[in-house]
Amino acid sequence: METVEVRFFAAARAAAKTESLNLASATLQDILNKCITTYPELERIIPQCSFLVNGVANHDRELLIKAGSQIDVLPKFAGG
C-alpha cells in the first residue's frame, strides 16, 4: 500500500494522542475523514486547522495527495 504521513501538531496532537499516522494515498478530504474516523476527538479540531502538503499551504481538500507525501495538520496557534 502506498501511504502518506499525516503529522499532528498542538491541539491536533493532543486530540489524536499521537504525533503521526500513515494512511493510503487519497484526496486531502478523504484522508482527513479517515483521521477523524480513527481518532474521533479530531472532529472538533480539524475544521479549525490549516494544512501543509509537503511544506506548502493547501486549501484544496479535493487535491489528490500522492504516496510519499507529508501532510501537517496545524490548529490555530495562540501567541504573539
C-alpha cell at 31: 484522508
Following DSSP, what letter does each residue of the chain receive, concatenated? Answer: --EEEEEE-HHHHHHHTSSEEEEESEEHHHHHHHHHHH-GGGGGTGGG-EEEETTEEE--TTPEEPTT-EEEEE------
Under 8 Å between Cβ of 41 and 68:
no
Residues of the chain with pLDDT under 70: 1, 78-80
pLDDT of residue 77: 76
Instruction: Sketch out the chain's domains with CATH numbers.
Output: 3-74 (3.10.20.30)
pLDDT of residue 79: 55
pTM: 0.92
pLDDT of residue 80: 47
